[in-house]
Structure 1
């Protein structure tokens, strides 16, 4: 059994990949997930090339059976869980008068539904880690849209608000057991997910994945009595409405 282990969803690119890389560099064995195997495989190869111990499970976490498989594979290989990163999600916008039920259901499943399921399926592992070192950690990726609603991104904003609210609830429910939860609320991050902004917002106006890593890394070593419920990453001198 490794000394520390983590699960990271949405780990093929962007924030999830950056956090997986950081956790690997900190000595964590990793189980990583992404929806598409063809995107996950090269990311896993790059992590393994750096000497990190990695288990990979492809599939959409909007499917409950995929959630269960990720946890089962992690449990079988590593036997412990110190950090859970619920990062998987999709960004999509539609005007409310044009909203399709398919798009609504996709975002509810991909952006929120899997998060409570991962807590449920990993709770015993998180409790065991917390009993050992009093700093079990869950990172839930929300968005700045989870702090203020945005036109056209109404459903996305609603799911990300749900992530923030659920994170707050988990701290109240599990905090006494030293299972700490942090919601990440970034503005536009320079990742493939923001490629649609090409020509509207330059990448140097965006939050970088290195910024996310720089503030998440210290959470791994907080004292037992300290919880950081959310981290907000604003763009310097820039308002989202300027780009939409």
Structure 2
């Protein structure tokens, strides 16, 4: 059995993959989950090539049964869960008069519903880890737009505000048991998800890096059980408040 184990969703690229890489460096056995099997397997193979302990579970995380399958596969392989990274997310921009119901539901299901389901399905394993070392952790990828709602990205902003709010609620509910939660709220990060901003003139080199995000999570791993960080806001120099 691994001494530490983590689930990372949305792990086939970008922030999720970088956090997974960092966790592997820290000795965590990993279950990676994402929607596209080929892309996920390529990401997992890349980590395994570095000698990391990794399994992947391709799953449409908007579906309840898929969430249950990821957690069941993780428990069967590793038997423990010390860290849950709810990183899977989708953002689809549109002015309010043109919001499509299908795309509205997709963002609600992936960005909010799956996060709630992962907490529900993982809380037993997290409680077991917390009873052992009081250092169980859940990291939820939100967004700066969850703190400051953005036009055109209104639905995405609303879902990420929900992530921040749910994180706060989970700390009030679980932190005294040794399960702490942190919401990550970055501005533009250099990932495929921000290609629209690059096309609009924001240079990739002017964006936050995925390594910046992963290093913040590494810091969270080092904190004492007495220290709770409910959220981390990542801004770019010159960004309007």
> Normalising by structure 2, what TM-score?
0.98
- Equivalent residue for 1:82? 82
- Equivalent residue for 2:128? 128
Contact 2:33–2:56 under 8 Å retained in 1: yes
Q: How far apart, CA to CA, are the structure 2 residues paired with 1:134 and 1:238?
A: 37
| 2:235 equivalent to 1:237 | no
Give the total of aligned pairs. 240
Contact 2:126–2:179 under 8 Å retained in 1: yes
Deviations 1:81-116 (A, max 9, x none): 000000000111111101111011000001111111
Structure 1: which 4+ aligned runs deviate by more than 6 Å?
A: none
Contact 2:59–2:70 under 8 Å retained in 1: no
| 2:225 equivalent to 1:228 | no
Q: CA deviation at 1:218?
A: 1.4
Q: CA deviation at 1:68?
A: 0.3
Q: CA deviation at 1:222?
A: 1.3
RMSD: 1.0
Q: CA deviation at 1:239?
A: 3.6
Deviations 1:178-209 (A, max 9, x none): 10000000000001111122241001211111
Q: How far apart, CA to CA, are the structure 2 residues paired with 1:112 and 1:196?
A: 23
Alignment of 1:59-208 (within 5 A): 59-199=59-199, 200-208=201-209
Q: How far apart, CA to CA, are the structure 2 residues paired with 1:101 and 1:213?
A: 33
Q: How far apart, CA to CA, are the structure 2 residues paired with 1:98 and 1:137?
A: 38
Q: How far apart, CA to CA, are the structure 2 residues paired with 1:216 and 1:123?
A: 20
Q: How far apart, CA to CA, are the structure 2 residues paired with 1:33 and 1:239?
A: 34
Q: How far apart, CA to CA, are the structure 2 residues paired with 1:112 and 1:170?
A: 14
Contact 1:18–1:209 under 8 Å retained in 2: yes
Q: How far apart, CA to CA, are the structure 1 residues paired with 2:100 and 2:191?
A: 26
Q: Name stretches of at least 5 consecutive residues in structure 1 with no aligned partner.
A: none
Contact 1:135–1:221 under 8 Å retained in 2: no
Contact 1:129–1:136 under 8 Å retained in 2: yes
